[in-house]
Structure 1
Amino acid sequence: MNFLLETLQLIVMSMYYNIEAFVRLFIPFKKKNVTGEIVLITGAGSGIGRLMAEKFAPLGVSLVLWDVNQEGMKETARLVKEKGATRVHYYLCDCSDKAKVYRVADQVKREVGDVSILINNAGIVTGRNFMDAPDSLIEKTLEVNTMAHFWTYKAFLPAMTANNHGHLVSVASTAGMIGVNGLADYCASKFAAIGFAESVALELLATGKDGVKTTIVCPHFMNTGMFDGCNSKWPLLVPVLDPDYVAKKIIEAILTDQVYLLLPKSMYILMGMKKILPFKTGNLLGMYLGAFNFMDAFKGRVKKEA
């Protein structure tokens, strides 16, 4: 194509996609049928992982639960069976350990089949200021929140691309889109997780594997215990989210092939403002919203060692 034709194509398709996005605000897209899919959820032993498993339970999927907490997974398995799941499998797996991920992934393929919906949800937070955080905790944060995604994709993506069918879900955070005081390692891990997920999504499109869908989830902090003690300065504008609501919206995003999900909706505006406001104005807005003090009451914080 020449310059004029490609430019015309850009204008026409941009108009079409913008109209499509506008219509989607008022007319929800039809939800896809996931009956028979094999859904793997990391960090399924508690919190948002357990809630997502519960919401998948009545949809006719085979559930594969991963966690480092054996008892937590047993409880999740019991709960999802009560909600209608008939095919539930759970495996002890430390997602930060590449060798264990590959070993357990091979076991899943043998015993259950090829995973077609992969939800990278496992995550940890240290809650320490950067200079107070031991190197081991920083490394663990990056291993769980970021590197684990590399290993699970390596393990399960080949089957998806071979079939040109599947769905990759990255449960990241709004802390992966804007820095938060006291969360340097956590923010870095989530920024990296988002960048990784976006890049793989583009690789899939570039290679014509448009049947493998991707969803990147960026919720504000949730009331799951992970950020116990933290409160929002202005809860009506930027609330600490109810995990059941977040799980519901994630499932809806998967069923409608939504590429990005930011929660609450006010985050779409705030993230847009970050990109256009001067740096000092952005800092002023962050102070107003309480981003500088959000971690002050974090109950999981360990005081600086002498």
Structure 2
Amino acid sequence: MAHSREGITLDLITRTIRNSFLSPFIVLPIVTGLSWQPARTRLFEYVHAEASSTALVVTYLLAALSVALSLNDYLNDGFANNWVRASDWDWNSEIVVITGGSGGIGEHVARQLLAKNIQTTIVILDCMPMTWTAPAKSKVHYYQVDLSNSSNIRTITQRIRDEVGHPTVLVNNAGLSRGFTVMDGSYIDVEVTIRTNLVAPFLLIKEFVPQMVSRNHGHIVNISSMSALIPPARVADYAATKAGLVALHEVNFGNR
């Protein structure tokens, strides 16, 4: 059943439509039933011929569209995962690193993972203090670090490996926007934004992916933004980093 923690949203509406009118598991049985002449005759017995014909056409179109969308989902999922399906994850032994996890999106990602399994190890990297309290008996580790400094990244990633273990999931969520125009922003504004939003994810991937590849087990989540596609005013540097993050995400790390 479709639901949303944010209330009524466009995502909720489209998901509801996909799970009902455009679900092949719902539409195809209806089409199959309508293809049987006795059932079709009885169903449209009291309906005008033109209306029944229109209903049939709409039903067939919905069926075709539902199949096309499902096929598209299958192909996208296969391409994104290199046509490999991972076995079930053991969330008791997974180590998830979340940058920018002291609040906002990162906090909610951490909370959802803990709600799924309280024993999942969560590592929070953020320059800001934690704004939420981890549940009792959870395995949440917090490291305060400035991700705009590459030396800090090298140091903190080694500490994580030594003190927690090799991460199996990396969520590159940390990001900032200074809100200046290209002409008004200072050099440091641009540099800090690019280092935090793009260079840091690149270096964190560089640090953690080799072990994931060697174990043939791992997952990387990069949080981008619509500004990567439609850059609004006063966030040119932020939009550029998010577009770069999309490009980084599309790379096959083993071959590029």
Relative to the length of structure 2, the TM-score reads 0.63
Q: Secondary structure at the match of 1:179?
A: coil
Q: Percent identity?
A: 29
The letter for the 1-side match of 2:134 is: V
1:112 & 1:181 partners in 2: Cα distance? 41
Which of residues 97, 113, 134 is equivalent to 1:80?
A: 134
Gaps (5+ residues) in structure 1? 1-14, 208-306
Counterpart pick for 1:191 among 243, 246, 252: 243
Runs of at least 4 residues of structure 1 off by over 6 A?
Answer: 15-18
Higher relative contact order (CA 8 A, sep 6+): 1
Gaps of at least 5 residues in structure 2 are: 1-66, 77-84
Residue 141 of structure 1 corresponds to 193
Other-structure match for 2:100: 43
Distance 2:123 2:199 in 1: 20
For 1:23 and 1:144, locate their aligned partners in 2 and report how far apart those are by CA, in whole Å. Answer: 33
Structure 1 residues 21, 183: CA separation in 2 closer, same or farther (over 3 Å shift)?
Answer: same
Q: Distance in 2 between matches of 1:167 and 1:193?
A: 16
CA distance in 2 between counterparts of 1:136 and 1:45 reads: 24
Residue among 196, 218, 226 paired with 1:174: 226
Quote the offset at 1:81 in angstroms: 1.6
2:171 pairs with 119, 128, 139, which one? 119
Question: Whole-Å Cα distance in 2 between the matches of residues 90 and 21 of structure 1?
Answer: 36
Helix, strand or coil for the counterpart of 1:80? coil
- Asked whether the 8 Å contact 1:124–1:144 carries over to 2, the reply is yes
For normalisation by structure 1, the TM-score amounts to 0.53
Distance in 2 between residues matched to 1:93 and 1:43, nearest whole Å: 10
Shift of 1:177: 1.9
Instruction: Give the distance between the partners of 1:111 and 1:50, measured in 2 at CA.
Output: 22
Q: Deviations over 1:201-235 (max 9, x none)?
A: x234x59xxxxxxxxxxxxxxxxxxxxxxxxxxxx
Tell me the equivalent position of 1:67.
126
Superposed CA offset, 1:41-89 (max 9, x none): 01111111111111111323101111112xx32x43xx2225xx52111
1:18 Cα deviation from its structure 2 partner? 6.2
Q: Name the residue aligned to 1:203.
A: 253
Query: What corresponds to 1:34 in structure 2?
Result: 91
**Cα distance change on mapping 1:115 and 1:93 into 2, 3 Å:** same
Partner secondary structure for residue 130 of structure 1: coil
The CA distance in 2 between the partners of 1:185 and 1:195, in whole Å, is: 15
Equivalent position to 1:155, from 207, 212, 223: 207
**What is the CA distance between 1:139 and its match in structure 2?**
0.9
| CA deviation after TM superposition for structure 1 residue 23, in Å | 10
CA distance in structure 1 between the partners assigned to 2:227 and 2:75 by the alignment: 29
Whole-angstrom CA distance in 1 between matches of 2:220 and 2:99: 12
SS at match of 1:139: helix
Q: Which secondary structure state, in structure 2, belongs to the residue aligned with residue 160 of structure 1? A: helix
Q: What's the Cα RMSD here?
A: 2.9
Tell me, in whole angstroms, the C-alpha distance in 1 between the residues paired with 2:208 and 2:180: 34
Alignment of 1:1-306 (within 5 A): 19=71, 21=73, 33-58=90-115, 59=117, 60-69=119-128, 72-73=129-130, 75-76=131-132, 79-82=133-136, 86-199=138-251, 202-204=252-254
Secondary structure of the residue aligned to 2:148 is coil
Aligned length: 180
User: Contact 1:53–1:80 at 8 Å: present in 2 too?
Assistant: no
Partners of 1:179 and 1:118 in 2: CA distance = 26
SS at match of 1:100: helix
Give the residue type in structure 2 aligned to 1:42. Answer: T
| C-alpha distance in 2 between matches for 1:53 and 1:137 | 29
Measured in 1, the distance between the counterparts of 2:74 and 2:199 equals 36
Amino acid at match of 2:127: V
